[in-house]
A and B are shown apart, each in its own frame.
Chain A
Amino acid sequence: MNQFFYGLLLLIFLALPPVAHLLESIMIVHMHMQMPMLVIAGFLMARLFQLRFPAFFEKWNGNGIPGIILFLIIVVFWTIPRAMDEALTFPSMEVFKFFSLSILAGIPLRDSWKKLSTIGKNAIIVIFTIKYFGMGLLYIKAPVQLCNNYLIIDQLTLGWGFLTTAICLVIYLLYVTFTDPTKYE
């Protein structure tokens, strides 16, 4: 219950017009800060839904795979330049962004992550690593503006943000591959 409350609080905070405006005024912050925080808000709120509707999650997301696929679809959708543009242009898209990232991505992520095997978890991280390298190169190499609402320099910054995040993910993967926790734990 507590967690749900903090999640909801975060969601409301992010939806406050000045906050949303500040975060969305910078392309990389829009994609790499506001959106993940929406997912985190949903992740926190998920606890209540899990407790209220255990049967629903058991029936539809027993092994965690449907949930994580829904999460992937939503998150991938929101890294498309056009999707970001539309969120800034159409209020309905903006509402959908807040709803989809918190409810359709954050909640299934929470419900699925624990159910996935280690290989499953690492596979998700590998998918994100590849995707981030790809998106990073796209945003850095694109010779034209991909979003109506953001300048080329914003786009370049976002590209480098993708690449640095991808590098961090590679470091994480190397860490889990080459250290053996059974030696320590």
Chain B
Amino acid sequence: MAIPKTLKEKANKAMGISTEDARITKTYLFVAFMALLVGGLLGLLQGLNRAGLLELPSWLNYYQVLTAHGLLLVLVLTAFFTIGYFYAALSHTLGGLLPIVRKMAWIGFGLKIVGFVFAVIPILRGNASVMYTFYPPMAASPWFYIGLALIVVGVWMCAFGAFIQVANWRKNNKGKHVPILSFFATGVFILLFFGSLPVAIEVIVMIIPWSFGWVKTINVMVARTLFWAFGHTLVNIWYLTAVSAWYVIVPKIIGGKRWSDLLTRIVIIALVIMNITGGFHHQIIDPGISASVKFMHVFMSLAIGFPSLMTAWAMFAVFERTARKNGGKGLVGWYKKMPWGDVRFLAPFIAMLAFIPAGAGGIVQSTNQLNQVVHNTMWVVGHFHLTLGMSVVMTFFGISYWLVPYVSKRVLTPAINKLGVIQTIIWTVGMIIMSGSMHTVGLLGSPRRTSYTTYGDNATALGWDPYLLMLAVGGTLLIIGVLLQVYAVINMMFFAPKGETEFPIAEEEEGASKTPYWTERWGLWIVIMLIFVGMAYVIPLTEFIVNAPPGSPPFKTW
């Protein structure tokens, strides 16, 4: 059994991805970039509105647009990209997808698309302007929530498909380590599954019966807590996905070796275990949690910063080592030896740089007193356009320049590479302008999630206008970036010259110490993760439920 298996794996690596596996990733990526296109256009509408340049019509108001922008970019773009990317990685590193796994990916795809249609119709009809966080007691049409539930079930399908694929490989490759990219995939799908359990409970058990009117009231605090157990985990799923490319792909592209295999795996395990409990840093201003408990949660959140710092250190070590090997000299002179003209390197590199201010901003927000200043202001919007819109999304863009040709059996032409470099520069400038002005205007008090208003020509509100105008300037650059990126993806998917593209996976360094087998014991890590989650959530949840105020009936605030 073992021999034909390895033969098949070799063939798979040499001949590229099978057409059936490629179709899955191609379809997922196509949807992801369509979401970017539509979501980006909606973002532009918002930017123009906030600058006071555009009044949105009553049949498509600011809050409808904002709900769709959030859902398309936070949920659709990221989920579809992550799944498409990791399914290609599973297929490539584990010798092709099993037929059952392929089927599950397609069922998952169907569920997500149907769910999305269910969610979008109420938004368009103005019955679901609840933003992507859908905090009760704001209540949308029940169909909106049913759509969300279907999306979650679709994601579970893909998660279980990945688990089956990995378990099968391990059975056929006893005692071997799961290849690093599939190890990342395992961590990500574990988080996707366990992270979406709380939101599934929120939506299915609490909100749907309440929005249909079968139960009269809802416990608002419990709902918010369940949402952020998911929301925060989702953030770290993006982060882990981006990090997988930083650790595994980027070193190969610059012709270097991967950083310590063991420490990489420890970072993944640590992020999986400590992740879900971080959700509380989104509730620093919420009532019902005592100051000392909040303090401990902040400590937990900052603990996640530790593996992140390890990441930064590791990456720069890899860059420097590779550049010096290629003849780079001097304390900083080695940077000249990096392949700056290669979009597959440039985009993720800038993404990594963006993580420095983004991480600093995150530490600001985790700090209780500073959070009071920026909470629910445009600062926060600036923050996640830096983390998500830059660190994560630019890494995704960088991946697309080899992944799309790889699954389409085409090649990256110099022209598209050049377009990619230009796109990267435009996106960088646009995001710096937009997110910079968002941060600043937030410090000056401009609230998030609020369509343009001068509050009766109040002087403070008028003082925001120059920054909001800059926001629109950045947004306009960004939409150019969106169009270039989508054009590049469509070109590489359907029109670029035929050919073979490599799936770039860096080798381990020579003489690295052997990775111990305990890193593969996912069952144990999951139990430890659950104990962490139980510990972190039992205090606030008991308080919220035992000392609950009267529940809230649904409200339509718009």
Listed in ascending order, the chain A residues whose CB lies under 8 Å from chain B are 22, 25-26, 28-29, 32-33, 153, 156-157, 160-161, 164-165, 167-169, 171-172, 175-176, 179, 183-185
Q: Are A153 and B530 in contact (CB under 8 A)?
A: no
Q: Are B534 and A183 in contact (CB under 8 A)?
A: no
Q: Are A185 and B546 in contact (CB under 8 A)?
A: no
Chain A residues with CB under 8 A of B534: 161, 164-165, 167-168
Pick from B175, B526, B527, B538: contact of A28, CB under 8 Å: B538
- Shortest Cβ distance from A33 into B: residue: B535
- A sample of 28 inter-chain contacts (CB < 8 A) reads A26-B290, A26-B539, A28-B535, A28-B539, A29-B296, A32-B535, A153-B546, A153-B547, A157-B542, A160-B542, A161-B534, A161-B538, A161-B539, A164-B534, A164-B538, A167-B534, A168-B534, A171-B527, A171-B530, A172-B523, A172-B527, A183-B171, A183-B174, A184-B171, A184-B175, A185-B174, A185-B175, A185-B517
How far, in whole Å, are A164 and B527 apart by their CA atoms in the complex?
11
Chain A nearest CB: distance from B183 CB in Å? 14
How far, in whole Å, are A160 and B543 apart by their CA atoms in the complex?
11
Among all A-B residue pairs, the 3 with the closest Cβ atoms = A164-B534, A157-B542, A175-B523
**Using a CB-CB cutoff of 8 Å, which residues 165-215 of chain B contact chain A?**
167, 170-171, 174-175
Chain B nearest CB: distance from A135 CB in Å? 14
Chain A residues with CB under 8 A of B171: 183-184
Chain A nearest CB: distance from B222 CB in Å? 14
Given contacts A165-B534, A168-B530, contact A157 B292 (CB under 8 A): no
Chain A nearest CB: distance from B279 CB in Å? 16
| A-contact bits for B539-558, CB 8 A (1 contact / 0 none) | 10111001100000000000
How far, in whole Å, are A58 and B167 apart by their CA atoms in the complex?
41
How far, in whole Å, are A120 and B187 apart by their CA atoms in the complex?
31
Most buried by A among B171, B535, B541, B543: B535
Q: How large is the interface on B (under 10, 10 to 19, 20 to 34, 35 or more residues)?
A: 20 to 34
Q: Are A153 and B542 in contact (CB under 8 A)?
A: yes
Chain B nearest CB: distance from A130 CB in Å? 17
Q: Are B292 and A22 in contact (CB under 8 A)?
A: yes
Tell me if A's interface is mostly helix, strand, loop or mixed: helix
Chain A nearest CB: distance from B457 CB in Å? 48
Chain A residues with CB under 8 A of B543: 153, 157
Chain B nearest CB: distance from A172 CB in Å? 4
Chain B residues with CB under 8 A of A185: 174-175, 517, 520
| A-contact bits for B520-535, CB 8 A (1 contact / 0 none) | 1001101100110011
Q: Are B523 and A157 in contact (CB under 8 A)?
A: no
Pick from B170, B524, B538: contact of A160, CB under 8 Å: B538
In the assembled complex, B353 has its CB within 8 A of some CB on chain A: no
Chain B residues with CB under 8 A of A167: 534
Q: Are B293 and A26 in contact (CB under 8 A)?
A: yes
Q: Are B174 and A184 in contact (CB under 8 A)?
A: yes
Most buried by A among B531, B546, B547: B531
Chain A residues with CB under 8 A of B538: 28, 157, 160-161, 164
Chain A residues with CB under 8 A of B546: 153, 156
Chain A residues with CB under 8 A of B293: 26
Chain A residues with CB under 8 A of B541: 160
In the assembled complex, B295 has its CB within 8 A of some CB on chain A: yes
- Shortest Cβ distance from B299 into A: residue: A22
Chain B nearest CB: distance from A9 CB in Å? 16
Most buried by A among B174, B520, B527: B527
Chain B residues with CB under 8 A of A161: 534-535, 538-539
Q: List 18 extra interface pairs beyond A164-B535, A171-B530, A184-B175, CB under 8 A.
A: A22-B296, A25-B292, A26-B539, A29-B296, A32-B535, A153-B543, A153-B546, A160-B542, A161-B534, A161-B538, A165-B531, A168-B527, A168-B530, A169-B527, A172-B524, A175-B524, A179-B523, A184-B174
Given contacts A156-B542, A156-B546, A157-B542, contact A175 B535 (CB under 8 A): no
Most buried by A among B520, B534, B541: B534
Chain A residues with CB under 8 A of B527: 168-169, 171-172, 175
Chain B residues with CB under 8 A of A156: 542, 546
How far, in whole Å, are A185 and B521 apart by their CA atoms in the complex?
10
Most buried by A among B293, B526, B538, B547: B538
- Shortest Cβ distance from B533 into A: residue: A164
Pick from B295, B517, B531, B535: contact of A22, CB under 8 Å: B295
How far, in whole Å, are A98 and B542 apart by their CA atoms in the complex?
29
Chain A nearest CB: distance from B529 CB in Å? 9
How far, in whole Å, are A179 and B167 apart by their CA atoms in the complex?
11
Chain A nearest CB: distance from B534 CB in Å? 4
Chain A nearest CB: distance from B540 CB in Å? 9
How far, in whole Å, are A155 and B232 apart by their CA atoms in the complex?
29
- Shortest Cβ distance from A171 into B: residue: B527
- Shortest Cβ distance from A185 into B: residue: B175
How far, in whole Å, are A171 and B170 apart by their CA atoms in the complex?
22
Chain B residues with CB under 8 A of A33: 535
Chain B residues with CB under 8 A of A22: 292, 295-296
Chain A residues with CB under 8 A of B170: 184
Chain A nearest CB: distance from B532 CB in Å? 9
Chain B nearest CB: distance from A173 CB in Å? 10
How far, in whole Å, are A27 and B243 apart by their CA atoms in the complex?
38
- Shortest Cβ distance from A29 into B: residue: B296
Chain B nearest CB: distance from A27 CB in Å? 10
How far, in whole Å, are A176 and B521 apart by their CA atoms in the complex?
11
Chain A residues with CB under 8 A of B167: 184
Chain A nearest CB: distance from B336 CB in Å? 40
Q: Are A157 and B175 in contact (CB under 8 A)?
A: no
How far, in whole Å, are A25 and B291 apart by their CA atoms in the complex?
11
Most buried by B among A160, A167, A171, A184: A184
- Shortest Cβ distance from B529 into A: residue: A168
How far, in whole Å, are A157 and B295 apart by their CA atoms in the complex?
18
Chain A nearest CB: distance from B294 CB in Å? 12
Chain A nearest CB: distance from B452 CB in Å? 45
Chain B nearest CB: distance from A32 CB in Å? 6
How far, in whole Å, are A175 and B526 apart by their CA atoms in the complex?
10
